[in-house]
Amino acid sequence: MPSFPVPVLSSSAMQCVNWSRPIRPVTLPENEIDVWRAWLDVEPQERDRLSSYLSADERARASRFVFQHDREHFAVARGRLRELLGTYLHRSPQSLEFRTGQYGKLALADRADLRFNLTHSYGLALYAFAMNRELGIDVEKIRPEFAGEGIAERYFSAAEQNELRELPADLRTSAFFLCWTRKEAYVKAHGGGLQIPLESFDVSLTPGKPETLRSTDSERWNLRSFEPAPEYIASLIGEGAPESLCFWNADIDRH
């Protein structure tokens, strides 16, 4: 399976991605995938601006979160998504309408050709965009206390569990989150939610080795993992073999 032309994993950890601010008008050629990074802890004025883009349904959903920081992160993440989509489409963020698939995957109501997927974890959001190409992206903050055997036994396939157990102890936490984000990205790309049994496909998880997907449709997909920021791991999967993968920073005052 071919892979994206981005940094590969080193023997001990992943290389950081170099995030850039666009120096040209933002476009999305057929042969390109764009990934944007945005931090969700923003100044109140910025939070209010992004929140103003939300629909009534999105505002209602945000209000159902118990904790204030979760409400704010949801509003900022969804507002930034609208802002980025509006930039590609030359439309106002407020004018965009979404439809939700049977298992929760978002799409534009009137532009089936522009595909996107988003993810966020502990204040960091990633967005992937492409034309006529299904996508899945997932990011996780590295939390050693979460990467336990019980979680792996519940969500990883037998082959993935064996690979994890065979690794030196100092690599297991990174390997756990490589596996987790790769599986999540695959499921999100399909848009099938938990209708796709997690044991029905395997991903490689050894740090420093090429990304591998073993599934009935593995030839359909390209898989890549990367470090979007210190202490985070992310994985991206997309249809076909794009010629370029661009990493853009959505924040003006952070890097």
Q: How many CA atoms within 13 Å lie on the side-chain side of 9?
A: 24
Q: Is 60 exceeded by the pLDDT of residue 2?
A: no
124-141 average pLDDT score: 97
The separation between CA 252 and the C-alpha centre of its own chain, rounded to angstroms, equals 21
Rounded to an integer, the average pLDDT of 139-164 is 94
In 3D, which of 123, 157, 127 has the Cα closest to residue 140? 123
pLDDT at 1 over 70: no
3-state secondary structure of 88: helix
Residue 120 has which token pair? 């966020």
Task: Specify the pLDDT at position 176.
Answer: 98
Pairing of strands 106-108, 98-100: antiparallel
Whether residue 13 has pLDDT greater than 80: no
Evaluate if residue 181 carries a pLDDT over 60. Answer: yes
The predicted pLDDT at position 10 comes to: 33
The pLDDT value given to residue 254? 43
Out of 20-24, 50-54, 64-68, which region has the weakest mean confidence (pLDDT)? 20-24
Average pLDDT, the chain: 90
- pLDDT for the residue 15: 63
Say what the pLDDT of residue 228 is.
96
pLDDT, residue 255, reads 37
Instruction: Decide: 17 and 226 in contact? Cβ < 8 Å.
Output: yes
pLDDT of 174 over the 80 cut:
yes
Residues 6+ apart with CB under 8 A from 33: 4, 128, 129, 130, 133, 135, 236, 238, 242, 244, 245, 246
pLDDT above 90 for 69 = yes
pLDDT tens across 192-235, in order? 776 788 889 999 999 999 999 999 999 999 999 999 999 999 99
Residue 128 forms beta bridges with which residues?
35, 117
Instruction: Report long-range pairs for 93-101 (Cβ below 8 Å, ≥24 apart).
Output: 93/53, 94/52, 94/53, 97/55, 98/55, 101/191
- Segments making up each domain of the chain, as ranges: 32-249
Mean pLDDT of 165-187: 97
Asked if residues 45 and 76 have their Cβ atoms less than 8 Å apart, the reply is no
Helix (H) or strand (E) holding 255: none
**Domain 32-249 in this protein, CATH class:** alpha beta
Confidence of residue 253 (pLDDT cuts 50, 70, 90): very low
Show the tokens assigned to 186. Answer: 């695959």
pTM score, whole prediction: 0.92
Average pLDDT rounded to a whole number, residues 102-117: 92
Question: Which of 17-31, 84-98, 163-177 has the weakest average pLDDT?
Answer: 17-31
Distance CA 51, CA 53 (A): 5
Q: Which residues contact 28 (CB under 8 A, 6 or more apart)?
A: 34, 88, 114, 129, 130, 131
C-alpha 52/C-alpha 133 separation (Å) is 30
Q: Is 63 exposed, middle or buried (0-12, 13-18, 19+ CB in 10 A)?
A: exposed
Q: Is residue 3 predicted with pLDDT exceeding 70?
A: no
Fill in the amino acid letter for 45. Answer: Q
Asked if 120 and 228 touch (Cβ cutoff 8 Å), the reply is: no
pLDDT average, residue stretch 175-182: 98
